[in-house]
């Protein structure tokens, strides 16, 4: 169900059918479909695949891709290691070609000695020497390693350089879009990313068992103009303009796959109409239903996020081409048109009842919804969409919903790191100006300066905004003073022109500030007085009286001296005690003076 601010108009089903009939009666252009598509698949069969693809999931993934190829496609499959071999001959995709691809896929192995990516690209692109001349040309390169043609590292380096210096320019001149798929983080990521970026393709890495099937479906949606139907509560609505259904149902633990048509009849692989093509392999089933009944179909198997309903119909939703790489946080104008064959839908009765939107989903499950509004050009819709502020893979699902029909088309982009950053340098006191600093990397831009807008929200901020210029490769600082305590947030956006002339508007992750009242600073306490040492008077030693000699003058002399000492000691003790009391009183008075000061 589409999410919009306004409610959908309520229309009678009969009137809605009349509107759809009006669409189907519009004159058709002589060309009955979009430009033809030439898809070539190159698969690594080197010995290292025994470790990176032990379950040989390349086989069911190739079968899934071949079953889903639309009828106006040419395709071919090659395998490579030391040598390059054609697995499925290049030619028009028919029922016979799909049957052959299903059989030959079983020959995919992991036995080759080397990984000659350059030779594989050269052999698989024969016939693409000239310009594309209106034909879409896509190449899927599936590998888990590096360029490896010899045990001599110097020869491997030369072979790698030849891919970038010779093969890549030739592919660009021929209008080839490369979709490299790494089956391991040990693959030459730099080489694969360069091949994708320079040709406008998409590089993806399969790290889990179920990634490869999802990646191949992503490439199918990215490289063709195939439309899908939304699956809601396990079911989908088929309208009269659909010529064929290709239903992909993934099953958990080998569960049973079954469908129920609008008439209430249940069908399985063993019980189905003769015209229904049913291919089932672990872990999925692909059911092709030509000329399907109009009404609600139900998938009776347990829901799975990778289930898809691809359709062939002259009533198509065609998104405008997107850059293969955007910056994280970039805002972009998204455009799509609804056509019958190659003729835009101009019936105002249909367009007035049509609701369109773009659903942007990041690989880490961040989802946002952006309405697409009709333009002055009939059948065309556009609106702005903002991508997640982090790197990775992002999908854009364009959706058109009418009373009796639905159309959706998916596109993928890679989000590169933002060339800008913002940080708060404080302080965070209420009423005092702090500083937010913006930094611009030296990414390629058409001018030396960029437009910078900072919008503050928070208590008392009332969406306070600032605008200035940001020098490329430099920085700029802006002041902001929180008016009240609380949480503030700065929304930062940078606008400019890329080196290739594309207008850029990039939103940075919000900068948060928690403003508080600056705490009062108390004066420091007075210093503690230094303690004054109190000296104790030295003790007076009194010598012991010497023995008196009774029979001589010396004895009598010492006797007299002892008498004198007995008279002096009490006087000395009295003097010492009196002096000590005086010093103690003086020291007490000084302490009182220090405390008073």
Residue 182 structure tokens: 């790494």
421, burial (CB in 10 Å: exposed 0-12, middle 13-18, buried 19+): middle
Of the candidates 18, 7, 401, 15, the one whose C-alpha atom is nearest the C-alpha of residue 229 is: 401
Give me the tens of pLDDT residue by residue for the chain, a chain 597 residues long: 444 444 443 333 433 443 444 444 443 333 344 347 999 999 999 998 888 888 899 999 999 999 999 888 999 999 999 999 999 999 999 999 999 999 999 999 999 989 999 999 999 999 998 887 888 999 999 998 889 999 999 999 999 999 999 999 999 999 999 999 998 888 899 999 999 999 999 999 988 877 899 999 999 999 888 999 999 999 999 999 999 999 999 987 778 899 999 999 999 999 999 999 999 988 899 999 999 999 999 999 999 989 999 999 999 999 999 998 999 999 999 999 999 988 988 888 888 889 999 999 988 777 899 999 999 998 999 999 999 888 989 999 999 998 889 999 999 999 999 999 999 998 899 989 899 999 998 777 888 889 999 999 998 876 678 888 988 888 999 999 998 899 999 999 999 998 888 889 999 999 999 999 988 777 777 777 776 665 555 565 555 554 443 344 334 333 333 333 333 333 433 333 343 444 434 444 543 443 344
CATH (residue range 420-515): 2.60.40.10
Percent of the chain whose pLDDT exceeds 70: 82
Q: Which residues of 133-162 are buried (b: 16+ CB within 10 A; e: fewer)?
A: eeebbbbbbbbbbbbbbeeeeeebeebbee
pLDDT number for residue 592: 47
d(C-alpha 396, C-alpha 543), whole Å: 112
> H/E element holding 171?
helix 168-173
From the options 2.30.42.10, 3.40.50.150, 2.60.40.10, 3.40.50.970, give the CATH code of 323-410. 2.60.40.10
Give the predicted TM-score (pTM) of the model: 0.77
d(C-alpha 493, C-alpha 142), whole Å: 38
Cβ pair 301, 258 in contact under 8 A: yes
d(C-alpha 245, C-alpha 286), whole Å: 10
Residue given tokens 């069911």 in the structure block: 60
Cβ neighbors of 274 (< 8 A, separation 6 or more) are none
pLDDT number for residue 32: 40
Interior angle at CA 260, CA 254 and CA 264, nearest 5:
150
Strand-pairing partners, residue 450, are: 470
pLDDT number for residue 535: 57
Residue spans of alpha helices (H) in 333-432: 348-352
From the options 2.60.40, 3.40.630, 3.40.1000, 3.40.50, give the CATH code of 227-313. 2.60.40
Residue 193 structure tokens: 């990313």
| DSSP code of residue 254 | T
| Residue 200 CA: distances (Å) to CA of 73, 78, 195, 264, 443 | 20, 22, 9, 45, 19
pLDDT number for residue 544: 52
Q: How many CB atoms lie within 10 A of CB 274?
A: 5
Identical fold for domains 227-313 and 420-515, yes or no, is yes
d(C-alpha 252, C-alpha 301), whole Å: 9
Is residue 566 helix, strand or coil? Answer: helix
d(C-alpha 442, C-alpha 425), whole Å: 22
What architecture (CATH level 2) is domain 37-223?
A: 3-Layer(aba) Sandwich (3.40)
Parse the chain into domains and list their residue ranges.
37-223, 227-313, 323-410, 420-515
Residue spans of alpha helices (H) in 45-130: 49-52, 58-68, 95-104, 117-124
Cβ neighbors of 346 (< 8 A, separation 6 or more) are 26, 378, 379
d(C-alpha 236, C-alpha 299), whole Å: 8
d(C-alpha 357, C-alpha 579), whole Å: 105
pLDDT number for residue 547: 44
Residue 431 structure tokens: 């009423």
Cβ pair 140, 177 in contact under 8 A: no
pLDDT number for residue 389: 85
d(C-alpha 492, C-alpha 466), whole Å: 10
pLDDT number for residue 239: 95
């Amino acid at each position: 169900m589409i999410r919009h601010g306004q409610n959908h108009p309520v229309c009678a089903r009969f009137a809605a059918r009349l509107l759809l009939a009006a669409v189907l009666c519009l004159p058709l252009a002589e060309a009955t479909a979009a430009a033809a598509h030439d898809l070539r698949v190159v698969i690594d069969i080197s010995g290292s695949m025994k470790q990176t693809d032990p379950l040989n999931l390349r086989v069911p993934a190739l079968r899934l891709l071949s079953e889903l190829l639309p009828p106006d496609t040419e395709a071919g499959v090659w395998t490579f290691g030391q040598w390059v071999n054609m697995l499925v001959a290049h030619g028009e995709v028919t029922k016979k070609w799909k049957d052959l691809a299903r059989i030959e896929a079983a020959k995919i192995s992991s036995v080759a000695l080397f990984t000659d990516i350059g030779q594989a690209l050269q052999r698989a692109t024969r016939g693409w020497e000239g310009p594309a001349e209106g034909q879409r040309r896509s190449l899927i390169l599936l590998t888990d390693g590096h360029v490896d043609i010899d045990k001599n590292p110097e020869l491997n380096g030369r072979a790698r350089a030849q891919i970038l210096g010779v093969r890549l320019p030739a592919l660009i001149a021929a209008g080839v879009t490369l979709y490299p798929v790494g089956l391991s983080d040990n693959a030459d990521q730099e080489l694969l990313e360069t091949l994708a970026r320079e040709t406008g393709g998409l590089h993806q890495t399969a790290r889990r068992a179920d990634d490869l099937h999802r990646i191949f479906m992503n490439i199918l949606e990215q490289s063709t103009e195939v439309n899908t139907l939304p699956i809601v509560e396990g079911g989908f609505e088929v309208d009269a303009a659909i010529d064929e259904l290709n239903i992909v149902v993934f099953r958990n633990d080998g569960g049973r796959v079954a469908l129920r048509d609008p008439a209430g009849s249940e069908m399985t692989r063993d019980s189905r109409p003769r015209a229904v093509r049913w291919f089932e392999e672990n872990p999925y089933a692909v059911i092709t239903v030509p000329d399907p009944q109009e009404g609600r179909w139900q998938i009776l198997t347990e829901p799975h996020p990778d289930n898809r309903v691809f359709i062939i119909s002259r009533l198509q939703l065609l998104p405008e081409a997107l850059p293969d790489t955007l910056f994280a946080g970039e805002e972009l104008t998204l455009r799509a048109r609804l056509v019958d064959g190659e003729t835009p839908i101009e019936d105002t009765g249909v367009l007035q009842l049509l609701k369109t939107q773009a659903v942007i989903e990041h690989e880490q499950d961040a989802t946002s919804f952006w309405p697409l509004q009709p333009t002055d050009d009939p059948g065309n819709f556009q609106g702005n969409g903002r991508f997640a502020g982090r790197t990775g893979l992002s999908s854009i699902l364009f959706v058109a919903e009418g009373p009796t029909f639905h159309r959706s088309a998916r596109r993928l982009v890679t989000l590169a790191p933002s060339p800008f950053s913002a940080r708060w340098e404080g302080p965070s006191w209420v009423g005092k100006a702090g500083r937010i600093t913006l930094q611009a990397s030296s990414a390629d831009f058409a001018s030396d300066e960029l437009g910078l807008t900072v919008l503050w929200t928070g208590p008392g901020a009332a969406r306070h905004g600032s605008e200035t210029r940001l020098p490329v490769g430099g920085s700029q600082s802006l002041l902001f003073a929180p008016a009240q305590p609380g949480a503030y947030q700065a929304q930062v956006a940078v606008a400019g022109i890329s080196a290739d002339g594309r207008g850029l508007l990039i939103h940075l992750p919000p900068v948060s500030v928690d403003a508080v009242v600056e705490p009062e600073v108390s004066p420091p306490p007075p210093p503690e007085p230094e303690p004054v040492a109190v000296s104790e008077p030295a003790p007076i030693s009194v010598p012991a009286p010497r023995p008196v000699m009774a029979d001589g003058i010396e004895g009598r002399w010492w006797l007299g001296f002892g008498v004198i000492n007995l008279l002096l000691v009490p006087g000395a003790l009295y003097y010492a005690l009196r002096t000590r009391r005086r010093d103690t009183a003086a020291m007490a008075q000084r302490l009182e003076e220090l405390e008073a000061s």
